[in-house]
Amino acid sequence: MRCPVCDSRAKDITPSGYRGLSVRCIVDGDYDIDRQCHEALLSLDPSGRHTVLNAAILTVAPGSRPRITAATFVRCRLEIRSAHRTPPYADATKWPTRSLGEANDRNR
* Confidence check: pLDDT of 45 > 80: yes
What stretches of 1-108 adopt beta strand conformation (E)?
A: 10-12, 20-25, 29-34, 67-68
Q: What pairs with residue 65 in β-bridges?
A: none
Tens of pLDDT along 65-97?
Answer: 999 999 998 888 654 444 445 555 555 555 445
Give residue 78's pLDDT.
54
Of 26-40, 57-71, 77-91, the least confident = 77-91
- Rounded Cα distance between 16 and 81, Å, is 27
Give residue 90's pLDDT.
52
Q: Mean of the pLDDT values across residues 51-58? A: 93
